[in-house]
Amino acid sequence: MTRSVNGQPLPVSEADVVVIGAGAFGVTAAYQLARLGAGRVVLVDQFAPASQTSPRAAGLYKQIQADATLTKLAQLSIEIVTGFEAATGVPLPVLRSGSLLTARTPAHAAMIREEAAASAGWGVDCELVDPAAARRLAPYLTTDGLRATCHIPGDIFVEEPSTLLAAYLAAGEKQGVKVLAETPVTGLRVSNGRIGGVVTTRGEIATERVVDAAGAWSAIVGRLGEATVPVVPVRHQLLITEPIAGIAPEEPITRIIDAAVYLRPARGGLMIGGFESDPMPLDPRQAGSDFAMDQVPLDRDVLDRLAADVRDQVPVLPDSGVAEHRGGLLTMTADARFLLGPATGVDGLWLATGCNGSGFSLSSGCGRVLAEWMIGGAPPFDVSSLDPRRFGETAFDPDALTKAGLWQYANYYTPAGVTV
Ligand SMILES: Cc1cc2nc3c(=O)[nH]c(=O)nc-3n(C[C@H](O)[C@H](O)[C@H](O)COP(=O)(O)OP(=O)(O)OC[C@H]3O[C@@H](n4cnc5c(N)ncnc54)[C@H](O)[C@@H]3O)c2cc1C
């Protein structure tokens, strides 16, 4: 994609909030801000809205999370998207597939049992199932080598991720959100430590509140206001096979955690993606000012290795043709938690980034929480573990940050302490 900058002057010169970035975080925040009465909400994107990482996602939702806060956000997100049409009048198709979380090593099996018990305590409906039950639920699996499997019936997926973004854009426009495409933000006006406006290639918008939801570019946008946004952009890929006889669209998502692989039905075939142990960082700061997500180099070898690792559980994979191979950039943080809340050191600048691989699914909850926080002065529940101000300056050492972000990616399903 080449940037086609809109040459028309801006149709607005003032706003109550400007949201920078029309990906999953930006569209959800803009919609919720407008719905909750933030006033004039403007959503700007340097490219076409909803065109960068978010439409390339797998569309998976996962209630079993690392802690109670993320679990609550996952559950809130599922509640919002499954009730979206009723609340907004805008259709949003969702597959209520459920999911299986499964492990092939004793250490990972123990981890699944612990996570299931903790999650049940946080209100997630989940149960351990035997291999025969797992196969009944997901006939695309053979159960050879599975040591523990947990079934989470309430997990869902969105078949085509672009539909979620389109639905939020439509619902936001109904609430009065003004969307400005092909409008790169090139500066933030800051005086006496307070945001005063946004500078774009088409002119300026005076505003006292800005949300940096610029995904892989969020550190660049933060820097425009002298704010540090500690994210590490890392490539992530998936592929969708050609249709495979016998795969039903509502079969569950499966996550094989020791292989760091996820699977789901997709377009009559299977989708596979996963987290390689030798990830590739790619920072737009070094990639040049025209960098766009379609320039992320794709590497089939990575996915072939992941597929080979699970061939005993999904024997149909190696013989299936590939219909689509896609990828984008995750924004990892040093502790695998979002950056959601006020930026350090600049009043009026808020962050909604640091997706850590679950920004598509949890963005619905994040958008709601951020909007309530910005409007009401406090988040609706304790999200201090996501507050960008939690990091000390030491976390901003670039080499240490990159090392930590890559570690979080490579150990996505396996927290510290589990060794195989
Ligand atoms: C292959 C793949 C599979 C994934 N699967 C899942 C999944 O199953 N579930 C899940 O939850 N997550 C998944 N993710 C992660 C998910 O896609 C991301 O967490 C999410 O899309 C991040 O959204 P975003 O809004 O931060 O970024 P983006 O969607 O990239 O949006 C950021 C926007 O900011 C704009 N922008 C940047 N700089 C400027 C500027 N200066 N001026 C104006 N606009 C600007 C960009 O143009 C862009 O549109 C997956 C990711 C990939 C790559």
Q: Ligand 1 centroid to 150 CA: how many Å?
A: 29
Query: How far, in whole angstroms, is CA 172 from its chain's centroid?
Result: 19
AA letter at 128: L
Q: Distance between CA 25 and CA 89 in Å, rounded? A: 21
Probe target for ligand 1 pocket from 43, 44, 52, 53, with the most ligand atoms within 8 Å of CB: 53
Beta strand pairing call for 322-332 and 269-274? unpaired
- Orientation of helix 161-174 relative to helix 24-35, angle to 10°: 30
Q: Which of 52, 210, 229, 298 to mutate to test the pocket of ligand 1 (most atoms within 8 A of CB)?
A: 52
Is the beta carbon of 353 within 6 A of some atom in ligand 1?
yes
Q: Using a 6 Å cutoff on CB, does residue 45 contact ligand 1?
A: yes
Residues 25, 57 contacting (CB under 8 angstroms): no
Stated pTM of the model? 0.97
pLDDT at 394: 62
Tell me if 328 CB under 6 Å of ligand 1: yes
> Rounded to the nearest whole angstrom, what is the distance from the C-alpha of residue 372 to the centroid of ligand 1?
22
The 10 Å Cβ neighbour count of residue 29 is 32
Low-confidence ranges of the chain (pLDDT < 70): 1-5, 393-395, 415-420
How far is the C-alpha of 194 from the C-alpha of 349, rounded, in Å?
Answer: 8
Evaluate whether 199 touches 187 at the Cβ level (below 8 Å). yes
Strand partners of residue 265: 270
| Secondary structure (DSSP) of 230-297 | --EEEEEEEEEESP-TT--TTPPEEEETTTTEEEEEETTEEEEEE--SS--B--HHHH-TT--GGGSP
d(CA 195, CA 192): 9
pLDDT digits (tens, 9 = 90+) for 349-403: 999 999 999 999 999 999 999 999 999 999 999 999 999 999 876 667 889 999 9
Angle, helices 359-376 vs 24-35, to 10°: value is: 30
CA distance 269 to 262: 14
Maximum alpha-carbon separation in the chain:
65
Question: Which of 157, 159, 200, 355 has most ligand 1 atoms within 8 Å of its beta carbon, as the pocket-test mutant?
Answer: 355
Cβ count near 177 (within 10 Å): 25
Using DSSP's 3-state secondary structure scheme, residue 33 falls into helix
Q: How many CB atoms lie within 10 A of CB 398?
A: 10
Give me the torsion for CA of 201, 205, 211, 214, rounded to 10°: -10
Angle formed by the axes of helices 68-82 and 359-376, to 10°? 100
Spacing, Cα 307 to ligand 1 middle (Å): 25
What distance in Å separates the CA atoms of residue 109 and residue 58, rounded to the nearest whole number?
Answer: 25
Going by C-beta distance under 8 Å and a sequence separation of 6 or more, which residues neighbour residue 337? 70, 354, 356, 385, 386
Query: Which residue, 177, 171, 155, is CA-closest to 84?
Result: 171
State in Å: Cα 354 to ligand 1 middle. 10
